[in-house]
A and B are shown apart, each in its own frame.
Chain A
Amino acid sequence: EAQVTQNPRYLITVTGKKLTVTCSQNMNHEYMSWYRQDPGLGLRQIYYSMNVEVTDKGDVPEGYKVSRKEKRNFPLILESPSPNQTSLYFCASSSIATDTQYFGPGTRLTVL
């Protein structure tokens, strides 16, 4: 089954404790992206990647890091999480041939 997976689905952590949210897709998509979704603000892009070793900032990159060492994986790293990073996070992927993005199930992060 073609899908985008994220782990963990739910995470409660404390300020300053480094964490990684994993994202993996099995569709051989070149493009992958991370979004956060907050009430009243909609989906905002954090980082994106056009292919392996090619990443760039989206609209709200502060406090986040990403890497793309393999085509299928695109982890999101929070080196020192803060309460304002409490949000619902989505990973998405798409083929370069089309621009239709498919979303993972989401990760609900709470930073205390």
Chain B
Amino acid sequence: QKEVEQNSGPLSVPEGAIASLNCTYSDRGSQSFFWYRQYSGKSPELIMFIYSNGDKEDGRFTAQLNKASQYVSLLIRDSQPSDSATYLCAVNMRTGFQKLVFGTGTRLLVSP
């Protein structure tokens, strides 16, 4: 079992729709969770982080964390073509130092 798993996609949604991206992780002791957006050939850009169970909203983005089920998700409301990118889920699996383990990413395509 991979430590952090994501569906590779592509996930295709029409402009204006809600895109839902999911991620599961293997280590129950994981403490913090991150979503990065990566355009082709570019560096990962932090979108959101979440530490506690529940929802965290920032503009059009909502991160959801369920530690009991070991999954974290990212919702993108009112999706725009500029949101088309690969979304990387990253999990800090150890307390005390900052080892991020990344999923392989989900490619999102938003069509006009």
B70 CB, nearest partner CB in chain A, Å? 18
* Interface pick from B9-17, B41-49, B61-69, B73-81: B41-49
In the complex, chain B residues whose CB is within 8 Å of the CB of A108:
41
How many angstroms from the CA of A101 to the CA of B92 in the assembled complex?
11
Residue from the list B32, B34, B103 in contact with A42, Cβ < 8 A: B103
How many angstroms from the CA of A104 to the CA of B92 in the assembled complex?
19
* Interface pick from A14-22, A43-51, A60-68, A75-83: A43-51
Q: Of residues A41, A42, A45, A108, which shows the largest number of chain B Cβ atoms within 10 Å of its Cβ?
A: A42
Query: Does A48 contact B99, Cβ atoms closer than 8 Å?
Result: yes
Query: Does B43 contact A42, Cβ atoms closer than 8 Å?
Result: no
A contact face: mostly helix, strand, loop, or mixed: strand
Residue from the list A42, A45, A50 in contact with B88, Cβ < 8 A: A42
Is residue B98 contacting chain A, with contact meaning CB distance below 8 A?
yes
Chain B interface residue bracket vs A: 20 to 34
How many angstroms from the CA of A92 to the CA of B15 in the assembled complex?
32
Query: Does B104 contact A103, Cβ atoms closer than 8 Å?
Result: no
Query: Does A106 contact B43, Cβ atoms closer than 8 Å?
Result: yes
Chain A interface residue bracket vs B: 20 to 34
Per-position 1/0 for A1-45, Cβ under 8 A of B: 000000000000000000000000000000101010000111111
In the complex, chain B residues whose CB is within 8 Å of the CB of A88:
41
Query: Does A45 contact B100, Cβ atoms closer than 8 Å?
Result: yes
Q: Of residues A31, A33, A45, A101, which shows the largest number of chain B Cβ atoms within 10 Å of its Cβ?
A: A101
In the complex, chain A residues whose CB is within 8 Å of the CB of B98:
31, 33, 48, 94, 96, 99, 101
Query: Does B97 contact A90, Cβ atoms closer than 8 Å?
Result: no
How many angstroms from the CA of A42 to the CA of B34 in the assembled complex?
15
How many angstroms from the CA of A97 to the CA of B45 in the assembled complex?
19
Name 5 interchain pairs, CB-CB below 8 A, sorted by A.
A41-B104, A43-B102, A99-B98, A100-B46, A108-B41
Residues of B near any A CB (own CB < 8 A)? 32, 34, 41-46, 49, 88, 90, 92, 97-100, 102-105
